[in-house]
Amino acid sequence: MLTRKQHELLVFIDHHLRTTGFSPSFEEMKAALNLRSKSGIHRLISALEERGFLSRRHHRARALEVTRLPEGVDAALLPDVEEELEAPGNFAPNVIQGDFSGRLPGVRAAASAGAVQLPMYGRIAAGLPIEALRDTGAHIEVPVAMLGSGEHYALEVAGDSMVDAGIQDGDTVIIRRTEQADTGQIIVAMVDDTEVTLKRLRRRGQSVALEPANVTHKAQIYPADRVKVQGRLVGLLRKY
């Protein structure tokens, strides 16, 4: 038995997944349910997980999956996108449909044909690891020519440890989501499931070295099982 808010959130998430291909941000869910804080959304999602209606892919941003709907709710009978957008007072996620959305999972098509909007997940350390801001609801417009296949996201760089690789404090890096990377590639690495950092990957037997590109910084060496690849650098944006 679900509460009214749990039911509303589940149906909203399911509809958003079916119409956009990716789960809504916490800000979008908060607005859809007319709640004042994201903490209420966290509680609702946890309750839906416990009841077996939702699942989360941990260490992935905005990765919710509807495992089942309440009895009496048929996904095929839920309102179409066009009908919902026309209904007065209903929440309408800021999604522009376009050809890019099918080819690039997890991105929203921008108004211009040569660009897409990627989710902007916050600041990542290019010095000592810091916790990533996973769900800001922000997006950034990126030229589609910078992207290949797969899912991408953007992060703002904090720190100077990658300056010799041309990555400066305040730059925006474009990351292709992947759990695999080769030695020598610049990656987003998660350490101990809690902290993330942008570094060059070096594999050394049963250890992993996260190398800076700045002679004033030292490489960080960890047992391989403490480091998880979260994505690989594919592009960079800079404002002057």
**Residue-range domain boundaries for the chain:** 4-86, 100-237
Share of the chain above pLDDT 90, in %: 22
58 pLDDT tier (thresholds 50, 70, 90): low
pLDDT band at 228 (very low <50, low <70, confident <90, very high): very high
Instruction: Find all residues with CB under 8 Å of 1, minimum gap 6, and list them.
Output: none
Q: Residues 27-48: what's their mean pLDDT?
A: 85
Report the CATH architecture of 100-237.
Ribbon (2.10)
At residue 199, does pLDDT exceed 50? yes
Average pLDDT over residues 219-228: 93
> Can you tell me the distance from the alpha carbon of 203 to that of 207, in angstroms, rounded to the nearest whole number?
6
pLDDT of residue 101: 41
Averaged pLDDT, 86-111: 41
- Active-site residue among 23, 25, 101, 161? 161
Active site includes 46? no
Q: Which fold has domain 4-86?
A: Arc Repressor Mutant, subunit A (1.10.10)
26-33: long-range contacts (C-beta < 8 A, 24 or more apart)? Answer: 26/135, 26/137, 27/135, 27/136, 27/137, 28/91, 28/93, 28/137, 31/91, 32/8, 32/91, 32/93, 33/5, 33/8, 33/9
Evaluate if residue 24 carries a pLDDT over 60: yes
Average pLDDT, the chain: 76
The region of weakest confidence among 51-60, 73-82, 158-167 is 73-82
Annotation marks residue 161 as catalytic: yes
Q: What distance lies between CA 180 and its chain's CA centroid?
A: 17
Place 122 in a pLDDT band, splitting at 50, 70 and 90: confident
Q: Indicate yes or no: pTM above 0.75.
A: no
Annotated catalytic residue: which of 23, 30, 101, 199? 199
Contact 41, 30 (CB under 8 A): yes
Render pLDDT for 128-145 as a digit per residue (tens, 0 to 9).
554 455 555 678 888 877
